[in-house]
């Protein structure tokens, strides 16, 4: 057994563990354990400094998860964009490929709570169907391995999938969405890197949310991936009490660059049942973006996005930099709120006129399902 597998076996993973190690009320611990899986490996556990700190909030269950919030289980309507159980095909040229239900840690804010940890919903038996679907759809040029966490698979299984995808001529790039460099950096081994580099172009997107996660172990894992020629990006989720603060986010994105990780997305927390306590006002995210752009390396700036409820995909949001128009002059402000006037180029009035046809359709959000505790499947 490899070290990372041994570490996983030593995880805090039951209601009983919560009672013994964190003094949970036994009845609450049991209800939480039934609602969504618990798994905190000894490495990630060691990052906790005090109760309810930003690390704790991400991994230790909280009674608020049981709130009757009436929020949807599948806020991004992924299941309705699933032509086969292992594929989410929302965008024209790329797909998510769900390869395992397992995660090295079960994040309390997870959007896919309804599925992860449940091997009846994400299962190896659907993998061949996924590869067949991709092979039959020549428009798919980008495949994102997700789950669960694809690095929960053994190197052997992962290689079978990655080599299977590489054999499909129209698949140009393969991405891995994995939390391992952050939550279990021991998973990034020389053997894994040596295997992956045979199948370039490979990209990794990982998931750091707080500067305390940027440890020497995590740095080493990211450097090993980068040394194997794999560009590493980061997708963070904005969360109340974890990172909803410009100074914390500034420290995080700077540290990531020193670990050779490029900040990619900053997500507004999804409207997921049992995770409402993490949501922040959109203005908090915009304020953070305002305090990053111009104040630190452009390389460190992620795109702030909302994943549209109901499955419209990611929608980018920016603070307002265009503050007005004066004839052909555009009035702009910079990162210090100094005002600048930019003389725009007058549009030529030539026939045929270029028109941008705009088709806005309003998607009705689906009625929220009512949360019924005794119908929850675990
Ligand atoms: C996020 C996402 C992708 C990838 O989006 P990019 O903007 O290309 O990183 C693809 N498919 C689905 C369903 C997604 O949610
Ligand atoms: S690693 Fe990803 S899929 Fe797994 S629990 Fe965390 S957010 Fe969800």
Residue 148 tokens read as 């669960």
CA of 348 to the centre of ligand 1 (A): 37
With a 6 A CB cut-off, is 144 part of the ligand 1 pocket? yes
With a 6 A CB cut-off, is 88 part of the ligand 1 pocket? yes
What does the pLDDT look like over 309-351, one tens digit per residue?
Answer: 888 999 999 999 999 999 999 999 999 999 999 999 987 776 6
Atom of ligand 1 nearest to the CA of 78: 13
φ, ψ at 73 (rounded to 5°): -80, -25
Atom of ligand 2 nearest to the CA of 178: 1
Coil, strand or helix at 257: helix
Higher pLDDT, 115 or 41: 41
Q: What does the alpha-carbon distance between residue 302 and residue 293 come to, in Å, rounded to a whole number?
A: 9
Cite the active site residues: 90-91, 94, 103, 107, 110, 112, 270, 307, 314
Averaged pLDDT score across all residues of the chain? 92
Which residues have C-beta atoms less than 6 Å from ligand 2? 103, 106-107, 110, 112, 116, 147-149, 179
What does the pLDDT look like over 130-149, one tens digit per residue?
Answer: 999 999 999 999 999 998 99
Mean pLDDT score, 25-30: 95
What does the pLDDT look like over 95-104, one tens digit per residue?
Answer: 999 999 999 9
DSSP annotation of 36: S
Q: What does the alpha-carbon distance between residue 198 and residue 184 come to, in Å, rounded to a whole number?
A: 23
Under the banding of pLDDT at 50, 70 and 90, the label for residue 376 is very low
Q: Which of 244, 248, 180, 192 is nearest to 217 (CA)?
A: 180
- Can you give the pTM of this predicted structure? 0.92
What does the pLDDT look like over 205-237, one tens digit per residue?
Answer: 999 999 999 999 999 999 999 999 999 999 999
């Amino acid at each position: 057994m490899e070290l990372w597998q041994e570490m996983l076996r030593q995880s805090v993973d039951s209601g009983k563990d919560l009672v013994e190690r964190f003094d949970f009320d036994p009845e609450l611990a049991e209800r939480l354990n039934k609602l969504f899986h618990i798994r905190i490996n000894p490495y990630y556990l060691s990052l906790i400094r005090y109760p309810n700190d930003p690390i704790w909030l991400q991994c230790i269950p909280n009674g608020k998860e049981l709130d009757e919030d009436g929020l949807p289980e599948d806020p991004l309507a992924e299941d309705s964009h699933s032509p086969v159980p292992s594929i989410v095909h929302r965008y024209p040229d790329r797909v998510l490929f769900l390869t395992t239900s397992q995660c090295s840690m079960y994040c309390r804010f997870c959007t896919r709570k309804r599925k992860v940890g449940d091997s009846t919903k994400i299962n190896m038996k659907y993998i061949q169907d996924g590869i067949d679907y991709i092979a039959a759809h020549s428009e798919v040029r980008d495949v994102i391995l997700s789950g669960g966490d694809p690095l929960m698979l053994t190197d052997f299984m992962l290689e079978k999938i990655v080599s299977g995808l590489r054999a499909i001529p129209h698949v140009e790039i393969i991405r891995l969405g994995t939390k391992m460099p952050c939550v279990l950096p021991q998973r990034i081994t020389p053997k894994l890197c040596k295997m992956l580099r045979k199948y370039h172009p490979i990209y990794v997107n990982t998931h750091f949310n707080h500067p305390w996660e940027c440890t020497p172990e995590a740095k080493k894992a990211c450097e090993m991936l980068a040394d194997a020629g794999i560009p590493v990006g980061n997708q963070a989720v904005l969360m109340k009490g974890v990172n909803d603060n410009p100074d914390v986010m500034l420290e995080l994105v700077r540290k990531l660059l020193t670990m050779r990780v490029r900040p990619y997305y900053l997500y507004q927390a999804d409207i997921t049942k049992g995770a409402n306590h993490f949501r922040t006002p959109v203005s908090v995210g915009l304020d953070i973006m305002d305090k990053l752009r111009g104040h630190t390396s452009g390389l460190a700036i992620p795109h702030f996005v909302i994943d549209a409820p109901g499955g419209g995909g990611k929608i980018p949001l920016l603070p307002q930099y265009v503050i007005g128009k004066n004839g052909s002059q555009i009035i702009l402000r910079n990162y210090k709120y100094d005002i600048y006037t930019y003389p725009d180029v007058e549009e030529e009035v030539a026939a045929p006129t270029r028109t941008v046809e705009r088709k806005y359709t309003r998607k009705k959000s689906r009625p929220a399902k009512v949360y019924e505790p005794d119908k929850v499947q675990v």
